[in-house]
Structure 1
Amino acid sequence: MIAANRRGLLKGALSLSAVSLLPRAAAGAADAGAAPDTLNAHLSGYLTGLHDPVMIREGDTYHVFGSGGWAGAPGPSWRISKDLKVWTDNKQPFGIPGWAHEAIPDATSVWAPDISFVDGLYRMYYSVSTGGSMRSVTGFATTPTLDRNSPHYKWTDHGLVVETHPGIGYNAIDSNFVRDADGQDWLEFGSYWGGLKLIKLDRKTGKRVPGDTRMWSLAYRPAPEGADNPIEGGFIFRHGDYYYLFASYDYCCRKLASNYFVACGRSKSITGPYVDKEGKPMMEGAAKTVLIERPWGGTRWRGPGHCGLFHDKDRDIIVYHAYDAEHDAAPTLRLAELRWDADGWPVALS
């Protein structure tokens, strides 16, 4: 998800179920009517100009990457922090690779990066496309370190992983790398059309095994004939005995009219089927809401969506973007701690 022309409720206030998950002191403050202490409450610095964020930590530095195209830089946006509070610009890791520009000549930026630490290297999957098009490519690049001051810092591009063409029925953007509990590597991706897909990767190459054309369908947004079916920005996160598939629904990139939101389902198999709390399948549009603006158009932070998940020490964090109604609807970095309720479903302390 990127560019202005692209194509169950969690209340704006903290719900009672979320309050029950807070530490005792914070819960007491919430009961007293005070605003809960959240990660979002402490954010400052370079927060705006961000779509589609993902997060990772190397040593004592947190890194957030997002879609490019801001401030004239076509490569992924990159910002860093030592404390999850104050964020600074770290420029772009690379621009549009030559092979991707040749495949998509009209592309102006790299979309929706996904960052992981894989077998001793930081690996970033990324996509290149144009607004509303099914002609898309996804590739990946690696570096031994994210520290620009290290002599070992160097991004190496590994080229194409998956591509789509008009009429194929699904779209190769918004990729997410996952290594399952058995050590098998996968790539989840997809936006609109046929929904979210999953393919198997070769652990050595980071690409598909030659000749392996198998593909699993994970989530879909049914829509009336001829209408949009907005679902994108998938992210698979393992917690306990389950794989959780987070996805973004409805519309981003419409400034204050954005009604994007995040919901999820879960499965004991990475290939699905993913279901909501009532056991209804995500392939039929069901999902448990995680981040949403309520009432619609009535809060400062509009259209929270396109999330990444990160396990940091003893807690889980969800990173996402939202549009700031107090600052010209700027797409802005947002963070929330995730807690897990008694039934194993995520609650965002946003």
Structure 2
Amino acid sequence: MTRYLRAAAVAIQLSVCAAAQAAPSFTNPLPLRLGDGSLAESCADPSLLRDRTTDRAVWYLYCTTDPVSRKERDGDGWRFRLMPVYRSVDLVNWYHVRDAFEERPRGLAAPKAGLWAPEAVYMNGSYFLYFTITDVADEHSPEKGCASDSAIGVATSASPAGPWKAAPRPVVPPRRAGSGCSFHWTFDPDVIEDAQGDRWLYYGSYGGGVFVQRLSSDGMGLVGDPVRIGANDRYEGAEVVRHGGWWYLFASATDCCNGPLTGYGLYVGRAKGPEGPFLDREGNDMAAARAGGTPVLAQNGNRWVGAGHNTVFQDPSGQWWTLYHAVDRKQPFFSAKDKLTRRPLLLDRIDWVDGWPVIAGGRGPSDGPQAMPGVRSAAAPAPARPVA
């Protein structure tokens, strides 16, 4: 099996190199342009959505709340953009549209809450933006005055660009882990739709595990009981996609002993249904106490460390890709004193070998030129004019 995978990786690499020589190419990290033309330096926990209203493919990118530029300050501190939104027509060059919120949704999020890990989807004729609220307003918490009562919120819009209107109540409320201010980490939403049209919400993180639960038909609540699909204290950032009759769970994990930057990596398992169990190549369950998970994106000695928290998609030509954040070990922080990590946006190709995803030929985060994604299907005519 090892010999087969090595041969497959070599074949993938040869095809990628040939494609890069024959087509326009790009190199990680991807450029994110702000309104003044300068580059944003970070896009953690990226989420991707294609606009449903345009003939030509137009894509929107959503990032977690963070500083994005060394130049931007808010008084004596850093300016934190509340989930910045970018647009692209080629999946490589991105341009800032707006921030999802100008201020934290009042009555839903506490005044200093983080708004993290956006997940944008289209359903019921509208666009929905799910997101983590690290500290809900007291009226939604079983314990007032806590700063750790996290939840999943949602906002809606007629356009993937926004503006976004937050729902007044959480989709997933805070979940107790013990008495007082002890709560599970209700982080990192991910939404999928199955063949029957039912929608499922994945949520959770290291503190308590990762779960899946059916979404209500209006997308504003949950139905039934949660099912654990990721081990306690092991995984975060669930990303679930369907390919070839299987559901694949991509999830990020950190090594206990190496720290969140150098030990962070991406793992995968697969299942026959959205509720799992998700098993790795050796048949180990990702929800077990001794958690399974096949590595698919680990550091490789180049500039990139801490790669993960990804989104997976197909371009219009049918090729699979993953967007994810990573840390440049030469410039890891906006501010080491403030522990503000820079997490640029990376893009790598996914190929499927023997029923399993192989990212960047199995070599880890790429740092060299690769062929651009296909922006239209082979059957589609060239657009008459560029999208404004």
TM norm. shorter chain > 0.5: yes
Corresponding residue of 2:173: 163
User: Does 2:76 align with 1:83?
Assistant: no
- Normalising by the residue count of structure 1, what TM-score does the alignment of the two structures yield? 0.79
For 1:255 and 1:53, the matched residues in 2 are separated by 21
Q: 2:49 aligns with which of 56, 63, 69?
A: 56
1:99: Cα distance to partner? 2.4
Runs of 4+ in 1 over 6 A off after TM superposition: none
Corresponding residue of 2:17: 26
Q: Identify if the C-alpha distance between structure 1 residues 249 and 255 changes in structure 2 by more than 3 Å, giving closer, same or farther.
A: closer
Q: Secondary structure at the match of 1:19?
A: helix
User: Does 2:223 align with 1:248?
Assistant: no
Q: 1:69 aligns with which of 66, 69, 74?
A: 66
Find the structure with the greater CA-based Rg: 2
Deviation string 1:101-124 (CA, Å, 9 cap, x unpaired) is: 2xx4441x3110001121322211
- Cα root mean square deviation, aligned: 3.1
Corresponding residue of 1:206: 220
Q: Name structure 2 gaps, 5 residues minimum.
A: 33-38, 73-78, 136-145, 334-341, 361-365, 367-388
Q: Secondary structure at the match of 1:171?
A: coil
Deviation string 1:114-159 (CA, Å, 9 cap, x unpaired) is: 01121322211001116x9751011111112124xxxxx5422223
Q: 1:17 aligns with which of 8, 16, 28?
A: 8
Q: Identify if the C-alpha distance between structure 1 residues 162 and 119 changes in structure 2 by more than 3 Å, giving closer, same or farther.
A: same
Q: Is the 8 A contact 2:131 2:152 kept in 1?
A: yes
Q: Identify if the C-alpha distance between structure 1 residues 134 and 54 changes in structure 2 by more than 3 Å, giving closer, same or farther.
A: same
Q: Is the 8 A contact 1:256 1:323 kept in 2?
A: no
1:218: Cα distance to partner? 0.3
Q: Identify if the C-alpha distance between structure 1 residues 348 and 39 changes in structure 2 by more than 3 Å, giving closer, same or farther.
A: farther
Q: Is the 8 A contact 2:104 2:111 kept in 1?
A: no
Q: Structure 2 counterpart of 1:17, which letter?
A: A
For 1:93 and 1:302, the matched residues in 2 are separated by 28
Q: Name structure 1 gaps, 5 residues minimum.
A: 1-8, 148-152, 222-228
Q: How many pairs does the alignment contain? A: 309
Q: Is the 8 A contact 2:115 2:131 kept in 1?
A: yes
Q: Is the 8 A contact 2:83 2:99 kept in 1?
A: yes
For 1:270 and 1:75, the matched residues in 2 are separated by 30
Identity in percent: 28
For 1:256 and 1:196, the matched residues in 2 are separated by 18
Q: 1:291 aligns with which of 271, 293, 297?
A: 297
Q: Identify if the C-alpha distance between structure 1 residues 15 and 37 changes in structure 2 by more than 3 Å, giving closer, same or farther.
A: farther
1:207: Cα distance to partner? 1.5
Q: Is the 8 A contact 2:269 2:293 kept in 1?
A: yes
Deviation string 1:311-341 (CA, Å, 9 cap, x unpaired) is: 3221222111001123345310011121111
- Normalising by the residue count of structure 2, what TM-score does the alignment of the two structures yield? 0.71
